[in-house]
Structure formats: C-alpha cells, structure tokens
Amino acid sequence: MSRITSLCRSVLLLIPILSTGATPNVIIIQTDEHNFRTLGCYRALLPPDQAFIWGEGVKVDTPHIDSIAARGAVCARYYATSPVCTPSRAALMTGMYPQNTGSISNDVPMLDTMETFAAVLAANGYETGYAGKWHLDGDAKPGWAPERRFGFADNRFMFNRGHWKKLGMDENGPKVLSVDDRGRPVYSTEGADEKSFTTDFLMDRVIEFVRQKRAAPYCFMVSIPDPHGPNTVRAPYDTMFDPSAFKQPQSALAKGARLPSFAQVLEDRFNQRQMAQYFGMVRCIDDNVGRLITALRETGQFDNTMLIFTSDHGDMCGEHGRHNKGIPCEGSARIPFVIAAPGIIPPGTVIHEALGTVDFKPTLLGLLGLKTNRVMQGRDASALFKDGGAPEGWKDRAFVRIGGGEKAAGGWVAVFTRRHKLVLSPTDDPALFDLDSDPFEMTNLFHDSARRGVIRDLANELKNYLATSGDPHAKSAPVMADISWAVSPAAEYSPPAREKARRARAERED
C-alpha cells in the first residue's frame, strides 16, 4: 500500500483529519455494472493509454466521487467476487463466498440463515435502511419491499430486480412510472426529470433519511441500477457527451496470443451512442453523490459519516470487442471501491493489494470495531486502510469465480493478486495474465516456462481455496487436473481431462 501524493492535492490541503469521537454513520452507494475507468480517481492511478481507452482525453468528470477517495482511500485492485449481480451482492452482504449463501447465480434467493453487515450494525444500535435494487430475493420483478429484510429495517424503497428508469410514489407506496399499454413496467425514460429519474429518485430517499432527527447512528445503503443497460439517461445528460468522440478500445483491434475463449477478441460493432449515454449515466450518478455530500454538510454530519462508493461488477465497454460482464477480465471483474472515514482512514490512501466483495463485511466491521459470532470467509482488511500495515499472515490474493453446481454449470475459478491472475475452467483453456506487462490481458502466459514458479504459487493458493470454500469447481475433473499439474514439478502441460470432457460434449451435441 502507498499514500498517493498527486491525486487531488489541492483538495487534500483543505481537509483535516477529523473525529468527533461519536459512533460514525455509514452510507454505502452501490452502482450496477460500472467500469472503473470512468472515475477520475482511478484514471489518476493509470498511465494515459489505460486511463483513456475510449480515445485521448475522452472522459467523464466525477469530482464528487473523487472527493470521497481524496478524503480517504481508493482500492486500486478491488474485484467482484463473482462478476454478476446476485452472487456479488450476496458476497458483499455476508462476507461469505456466493456458493455458501444460496445465491450462486442470478435470481437465486439468498438463504434465510445469512447474516448481513446490516444485521450486525442493527444489533449494535444502528438505525438501518436500504433503497434501490436488491437482487437477493429470487425472481420477483420489481418486487418492492421484500418480506425478508436481512437487517435493513426501512426497506420501503428496496426493489428486487429491474433497471427501471422512472420511479414515483402514490398512496400505495413507490412504483415504476413507465408502463406499456397493458400497464406493465418498462424501461422508458420518456418524461423523466430530476425527481422521477431513478438515480435522482433514489438519492432523494437517501437525503430524506439523512435529514431525519435521530439520536442513534445510522447505516443506509442505496443501490442505483445505473450505469447498467439499457444505456439511456434523462436530459441534460443524454446529450452531454458527443458520440463521435468515442473510439473503440485498442484491445478490440488486436488478436491476442493463446487467449482462452472468455478473452478472445470479438468482432463486435462498437456503439458510440451507447458509450455516450453510459458516460451520461455516470455523470448523473456523480452529481447525485454531490447532492448527498451537500446534505451531509448542511446537517453537520459530514465529518462523522463513513461514505463508501462501489459497484457490484464491471462492464467491458468494448474492451476485447465485448460488453457487459461475467468474465475474469479487468473490465468485467474489477470494480470501484472508494471510502472516506474521517479520523479512521488517512486521506489520500491507496490500497494496492487485491480485495474482493467477500471482504467487505469483515472489513467494515473491523473499521467500526464491531464483532460477530458468525463465520465469515472474507478477510478483515481494516488494518490496510487504517495504517497500511497488513495483518500477520496476510497474502495478496483474491478469489473470484462464476459457475459450478447444478444451477450454474460451466464457469471458471481464479486467483488474483495485484499483478497476476490465474484462471481455470472446466470448459476452457487455463490462463495466466501479468497485469504489469500486459494490462489489457492480451497474452496468455500459462504455457510460458519462465512463469512456472508463479503458476505453482498461485495454483497452491487456488488448491487451498477449493479445499476449504465449498466451491463446486472442486468437483470438476478438468479443473482439478489443471491444479494437480500446476502444483507439481512437471514442466510439460497435458490436459487429458479437459480434452475428454470436450469430446464428450461434442458427442452429446452431435
């Protein structure tokens, strides 16, 4: 970990490290499908070719989110433990790997027995609330105010699924305002304004909660369904960015070397208009973060509120000719995570160690000095944030996974560090990437004999994870065959288990 010396220097000079001595409030802002490169605080950590992948100088300004990073910490390598909505959110809520929460894949409800961070905070005197997309209660859509609250006492404005663009209220409570001719909710932005557009509507609910008079500390989480598609946004954000300025990322224009299928470059048409709208959604989100910060200042809570901004997973946004998520590439799996905690986290902190959403609950509890008797599989990284010192025995690695099991077959499992990622799959070629020399993941180094030691070290970490985490990939013969070779002294790679599985699949398809 290092302290950043150039990011928002002028802002830092104006910010004292304050602590009122009171129990801090906690506000968590989560977006959906958010590419980390759209935030200024992440671009500041990158060389120009990585910061401006959609064209030289093509960017969206995010001063309010950047100010959170300047007042506290930015995590340079923060990953969705499973880069799709439901399992990533389950890991964040519980500190458990998705396969142990019930929510191993999208639209599968979280188990009743799960303890969320909100439940721990509520048990310690916090008032709790949640607004926005939840995606942990099965297939209900929109599914307002789920019966199971999981520690969020005020969940009136929680909805289970959907990327609705217009919300409002009537005598029965919140509702989707855009409907078709049969009265069914749709994703139209027609007529959306600063009160009804979903990002604005949800932030209004947060600000209402913040402005309430209360004696107890509070924890409120808002989950904004943008910038997930459909890529549409209200005026004036819909025309704020010129589509013609956007260029296809260079990683979409190169072939790559020995890439597994998930990283192979697709000949996908790059949609400039869609990217302009995506940037517009991000700018709208940032402006709303600014409104929240203003409310915290006006109510005297700014210096006693822990403010966190993150996402559930990323979006490839044209890298490798791909869009959306679900793969272990950086655009999909790497997500924003910035946090300001006056008096707890020194301003200007940069965390370089690999962390994941599964680490969120134990780290939050560590920062707040709270305990739980429940088992958590994530790690308490609070020491990294508070003083830069890793706990004894800390290893720089994060496990990221998708699939496996009856309801989520196929997929992959991976171990990430600040520099490397090793990815194994029951249906795909193994891959090793070096993010220092190959930040766009265009060269698979798994067959490079000079990397044999790195592969062995990472594979041993993955072997231990599979043996202890309940991950169904531990029952995959191809994955375990790759593990066996990788941890062995053998030099020549042989994949008989995978080839046998491929032949079997081919026979079934015929």
pLDDT tens-digit readout, 403-420: 987 666 789 999 999 999
Q: Which segments within 153-230 are labelled E, that is strand?
A: 154-159, 167-170, 173-176, 218-227
Does any domain span residue 184? no
- In eight-state DSSP terms, residue 454 is H
Does any domain span residue 378? yes
Does any domain span residue 22? no
Does any domain span residue 240? yes
- For residue 359, give its domain range: 2-12+34-162+194-385
CATH code, domain carrying 158: 3.40.720.10
Model confidence over 428-464: pLDDT tens digits? 999 999 999 999 999 999 999 999 999 999 999 999 9
Give yes or no: residues 414 and 373 share one domain. Answer: no
In this prediction, residue 14 has a pLDDT band, given cuts at 50, 70 and 90, of very low
Does any domain span residue 391? no
Which of 368, 385, 402 is the last residue in one of the domains? 385
Question: Is the pLDDT score of 2 beyond 50?
Answer: no
Q: What pLDDT, on a 0 to 100 scale, did the predictor assign at position 21?
A: 60
Lowest-confidence segment of 4-18, 121-135, 414-428 by average pLDDT: 4-18
Could you tell me what percent of the chain has a pLDDT over 70? Answer: 92
Question: Is the pLDDT score of 492 beyond 90?
Answer: no
Q: What pLDDT, on a 0 to 100 scale, did the predictor assign at position 497?
A: 55
The Cα 242–Cα 451 span in angstroms is 44
DSSP string, 76-135: TTEE-SSSSHHHHHHHHHHSS-GGGTS-SSTTPPPPTTPPPHHHHHHHTT-EEEEEEE--
- Amino acid occupying residue 175: K
In this prediction, residue 495 has a pLDDT band, given cuts at 50, 70 and 90, of confident
Does any domain span residue 21? no
Give yes or no: residues 362 and 456 share one domain. Answer: no
Question: Is the pLDDT score of 17 beyond 50?
Answer: no
- Amino acid occupying residue 490: A
Q: Across residues 305-333, what is the average pLDDT?
A: 98
Q: Let me know: does 460 contact 487? Beta carbons within 8 Å.
A: yes
Give yes or no: residues 356 and 425 share one domain. Answer: no
CATH code, domain carrying 428: 3.30.1120.10
For residue 7 the two structure tokens come to 């990011």
Give yes or no: residues 446 and 348 share one domain. Answer: no
Give yes or no: residues 284 and 207 share one domain. Answer: yes
Per the structure, how many domains does the chain have?
2
Does any domain span residue 499? yes
Give yes or no: residues 128 and 269 share one domain. Answer: yes
Q: Please state the separation of Cα 238 from the chain's center in Å.
A: 25
Q: What pLDDT, on a 0 to 100 scale, did the predictor assign at position 5?
A: 38
Pairing of strands 127-133, 154-159: parallel
**For residue 47, cis peptide bond before it (omega within 30 degrees of 0):** no
CA-CA-CA-CA torsion sign (37, 41, 42, 47): positive
Give yes or no: residues 424 and 495 share one domain. Answer: yes
Which of 385, 402, 418 is the last residue in one of the domains? 385
Q: Across residues 65-74, what is the average pLDDT?
A: 98
pLDDT greater at residue 214 or residue 374: 374
- In eight-state DSSP terms, residue 265 is P
Model confidence over 241-270: pLDDT tens digits? 999 999 999 999 999 999 999 999 998 789
Q: What pLDDT, on a 0 to 100 scale, did the predictor assign at position 407?
A: 64
Phi, psi of 159 (to 5 degrees): -125, 150
Q: Let me know: does 163 contact 32? Beta carbons within 8 Å.
A: yes
Question: Is the pLDDT score of 10 beyond 90?
Answer: no
Give yes or no: residues 414 and 362 share one domain. Answer: no
Does any domain span residue 48? yes
Model confidence over 205-226: pLDDT tens digits? 999 999 998 889 999 999 999 9
Give yes or no: residues 138 and 282 share one domain. Answer: yes
Nearby residues of 36 by Cβ (< 8 Å), 6 or more positions away: 42, 314, 334, 335, 336
Give yes or no: residues 317 and 425 share one domain. Answer: no
Could you tell me what percent of the chain has a pLDDT over 90? Answer: 88
Closest CA relative to residue 338, chosen from 25, 97, 30, 50: 30
Give yes or no: residues 91 and 212 share one domain. Answer: yes
Give yes or no: residues 121 and 267 share one domain. Answer: yes
Q: Which helix (H) or strand (E) holds 460?
A: helix 452-468
